[in-house]
Amino acid sequence: MPAYLDNAATTRVCPEAARAALEVMTEGFGNPSSGHAAGRAAAARLAEDRAVVAQRLGCAAEELYFTSCGTEGDNWSIRAAMEFNKRRGRHIVVSAIEHSAVLEPVRALAAQGCEVTYLKPDKSGRIRCEDLQAALRPDTALVSLMLVNNELGTLQPVRQAAEAIRRSGCPALLHTDAVQAFLKVPFTPAELGADLLTVSGHKIRAPKGIGVQYVRRGLVPSPLLLGGGQEQGRRPGTEPTAQIAALAAACRAWDDSFPAHLSALKQYALETLAAVPGLEVVSAGDAPHICAVSLPGYPSEMLVRDLSDQGVSVSSGSACHKGKPSHVFAALGLPKRTLMGVLRISFSPENTRADVDALRDGLIQITKTRIAMR
């Protein structure tokens, strides 16, 4: 059996989610905005599914908006926050190791005249609270800090960021990309002090094409899109009820024991991969499902390709980089040989020790058949 260890990129859809999607596509397929019986039934199912997801996220149903993906949620959050605070400031604080779905819209705003402070991580891949506090200004309108880094698995100080914003008295709204954190680490938006929080379904065994945007009660975000009145008039477009049903089913199917299983499997991987000659641990990760290692002298893309030929799937970083060097790993200041050989390993509840053993054996085989670059 192939060993799929790239679950931070995407996950296999769980059977419960697939069945829910099929049911809604073939039976409960009405448009929730329609006034007839099929539409009313679809609207009732939509409300039920929204309540399920909100319960798992730990927020009120009316604080939850369905989107197409994490990228849309990040873009919406950033632009809505700056629009909300346009008379209070044009300064943004963001970590240098955010996902490109955060960094790219921030760069676009910088090109339009906003000032941006990029927080660099320490060598472990964590943002220092004192650096964040020092970056805040009276005109800071937005702080965006991911909860779990998607390449390192490190937890970032989001709750401390909220406290720093309150202490400073600046008007900043706090956004966190929680795509890699949802259901993996315990949190609620209120506990974090987040005003805006982004989640994606396909990281938790739901299909691609469905995301969730939390907006704190009382905050009225300007829409990213214009059109119909769906999602309280804030996210127009006919609701993708099949994907939403699948997301709710994936939330129901996520067992509270899964994070412990993921954590144990990651620990087994870190111990087992020590048998690979020359392998280094780049990040053990704080989240239970992500870690990063390096085989110095062996280019990451070659490692990914050779392992794939052996039936093992890992990545050289975020799937969104598409082969480009990772800005996240580069920000750690790693030696060049270490940086060139970085691999991200990420687990799902379906993974077993046999998958890890296959990865170990594959890497050992590469060291025996390939010559490391100096």
Active-site annotation, residues: 320
DSSP string, 223-247: PSS-SS-TGGGTS-S---HHHHHHH
Rg (CA), the chain: 21
SS3 content of the chain, % helix, strand, coil (to 5): 45, 15, 40
Residue 156 CA to residue 129 CA, distance in Å, equals 9
Which of 12, 19, 14 has the alpha carbon at shortest distance from 242?
A: 19
Q: Per residue in 301-310, is it b (16+ CB within 10 Å) or e — as a string? A: ebbbebbeee
Map tokens 């030929």 to a residue. 309
| Dihedral over Cα of 247, 240, 63, 39: its sign | negative
Q: Where are the beta strands (DSSP E) in 69-193?
A: 91-95, 115-119, 140-144, 173-177
- Burial-class residue 26 by CB neighbours within 10 Å (0-12, 13-18, 19+): exposed
Helices 241-253 and 15-26: angle between axes, nearest 10 degrees: 150
Strands (E), 27-113: 64-67, 91-95
As to burial, measured by CB atoms within 10 angstroms (0-12 exposed, 13-18 middle, 19+ buried), residue 322 is exposed
Task: Please give the sequence-ordered ranges of beta strands (E in DSSP) within 96-209, or none if there are none.
Answer: 115-119, 140-144, 173-177, 196-200
In angstroms, the CA 301 to CA 304 distance is: 5
Tokens describing residue 270: 């870190």
Strands 115-119 and 91-95: parallel
